[in-house]
Structure 1
Amino acid sequence: MSRISESDLVINPDGSIYHLNLRPEDLADSVITVGDPDRVAEVSRYFDSIEVRKGKREFITHTGYVGKTLLSVVSTGIGTDNIDIVFNELDALVNIDFETREVKDKLRTLDIIRIGTSGAIQDDLPIGTILAASHGLGLDTLMGFYLAEVDPEDARLLAMVRQHLTGFDAVEPYFTAASSPLTEKIASTLPKGITVTAPGFYAPQGRKVRAAAKFPNLISQLNSFRDGDLRITNLEMETAGIYALAKVLGHRALSINAILASRVKFAFSNNPQQVVDQAIRHVLERI
């Protein structure tokens, strides 16, 4: 088995991985990811005990127990560029021997649950909804750099989406389903839909401030897609990368979205923290 070079996998002098600043023993098999570093403590305040508190840059990790279940909560920051860092380093922590720099013979599978904020693009999804992403549709470039096997059903849906979206020739979308076991465990009672992951917050999500948007009808093009009961429900900046990279690396992933905005009613939550806390408690009660 080939040795991974020092420049491909950077390990700090204390034996921790480069960005996350974690050692292999610091990470649980069940991981909650949040974008905002401050949200890590909002999750871990529900832990019965906290065994690890570590951080570097925007990457903060708390590992502890809820009852007898060991959990880690890790902040990713915003965007799929950060997902690339976090997911490769989470995988390395459990599946690479840091002493030999070789992939382990027996691989571990992580359960990774994103708790994030999002904007709904369907008028029947009110602000305050807790929504599970059945699929992630990526409009960013992350997966253009990875070799990935695409399931036939994901390929079929992606082809339908590409046919539906007109004028997006410069964008190469990708499409990945959520983990079925995690969806059944965490989100069986939640509304579900396709979550679109954009490479930005403003024009890439159809917002108009001062700069002119190249795709002014983005929201209407997205929310009019249908395949039976399946539809595109919301926009954010991480889910598709999480789903696709987790699949490449052999992990299970689910994204839980706290709907703070209605993009079709041009409204934003009056109490966003309460909605996020509802999503956190929902996940912790079922994990």
Structure 2
Amino acid sequence: MKETLANANFPRDGEGRVYHIGVRYGEVANRILTVGDPARAKAIARWLDTESDSGKPVFTNQSHRGFLTITGRYKGVPVSIMAIGMGNCMMDFFVRETRAVTTGTLAIIRFGSCGSLSQNAPTGSIVIPQGGYCIRKNLEYFVKEKNRLFKGPVEPYMISGVFDADEEMSAILTKELEKAIEPISGKHGVGSVIANGLNADGCSFYSSQGRKDPAFWDDNDSVIQEALSAHPETVSLEMETSMLFHLAECAREQNPIKAAGCMQVFADRIGNGFIHPDTVAVLEPAVGKAVLEALIQVQVDNEMSEEGTVWQTTASEA
């Protein structure tokens, strides 16, 4: 930490940069593509307009907490590509702090990877969930009995209800992904687009996703079956997309957020298979470009003026 921060409730430095993602007003656009892996973000950023096309160089910021922000224009429309790492808390940092440095409606599409809980979604498929729910380890269950706050019986895992994805954005995303995948579907291990069903978010890659780790007591033998019993429409399992849907639903009416998501199926949790790197090399660029195509079609209300932003064009500066 190099700057003195103000407001312990929502820290910012003297330039107005939020603490974790390290950006300020004018550095993040209303339309955002978010990923976990910074290498994926950089690869997608090659589709952005060049400086000669847009009149402005692409803006890049790497925060001290590992968040990468890349902002520019795609086909003339301001967009940001943001790499946030893995897990629910990273999604929480990203959504809340991005919301704090922007105005108007935010349109966020997450492009990630997932495990499959459906025979209809083998590795190489692309899932666009209609909604998502969360699986949380109930820490009270794992407290020594003498130290428990609650003396009655408790379950080791809690499964939430469903948080909806934005229907309009999901429909646009489906159309663009089907168009992008059609020429390569069935080749190099690339599967089809699955635009239905639910996504499950685990609070961990291990315990709440039902993976077996002999070094720890997780009591998770039945957690996946319990999730499927509660939500039989479940297709995918990961750690971020349902949290995005949840935060979008919790956004105040005066600061709305639209959210959608798509995931490449990397792991077949039913057949215990994993995607081949050659498939990823073919699939990932196609999906990344399709998400950008979808984003620029999304209508956002009260979009930020470009004056003073990192995407302000030379013409508007004059």
Do they fold alike, i.e. is TM over 0.5? yes
Cα distance in 2 for residues equivalent to 1:196 and 1:226 = 9
Cα distance in 2 for residues equivalent to 1:178 and 1:262 = 23
**Cα gap change, 1:78/1:226 in structure 2, threshold over 3 Å: closer, same or farther?**
closer
**Cα gap change, 1:82/1:226 in structure 2, threshold over 3 Å: closer, same or farther?**
closer
Cα distance in 2 for residues equivalent to 1:207 and 1:277 = 30
Cα distance in 1 for residues equivalent to 2:284 and 2:117 = 18
Partner of 1:263: 269
Cα distance in 1 for residues equivalent to 2:130 and 2:223 = 21
1:261 positional shift: 1.0
Partner of 1:74: 82
* Contact residue 259 and residue 275 of structure 1 kept, 8 A: no
Cα distance in 2 for residues equivalent to 1:139 and 1:225 = 11
* Higher Rg of the two aligned structures: 2
How many residues get paired? Answer: 243
DSSP 3-state at the match of 1:86: helix
TM-score, length basis structure 1: 0.78
Post-superposition CA distance 1:98-125 (Å, at most 9, x none): xxxxxxxxxx110000000001111121
**Cα gap change, 1:278/1:214 in structure 2, threshold over 3 Å: closer, same or farther?**
farther
Post-superposition CA distance 1:33-64 (Å, at most 9, x none): 11122221011011123521001122000001
Any stretches of 5+ residues in structure 1 without a counterpart? 96-107, 142-166
Partner of 2:133: 137
Partner of 1:177: 164
Partner of 2:220: 215
Any stretches of 5+ residues in structure 2 without a counterpart? 1-5, 51-56, 138-153, 179-192, 296-318
Select which of 181, 194, 202 maps to 2:198.
194
Query: Which letter does structure 2 place at the counterpart of 1:282?
Result: A
1:285 positional shift: 3.0
Partner of 1:237: 239
TM-score, length basis structure 2: 0.71
Cα distance in 1 for residues equivalent to 2:204 and 2:48 = 33
Higher relative contact order (CA 8 A, sep 6+): 2
Query: Any runs of at least 4 consecutive aligned residues in structure 1 with deviations exceeding 6 A, and if so which?
Result: none
Query: Which letter does structure 2 place at the counterpart of 1:210?
Result: P
DSSP 3-state at the match of 1:24: coil
The percent identity for this pair of structures is 25
**Cα gap change, 1:168/1:187 in structure 2, threshold over 3 Å: closer, same or farther?**
farther
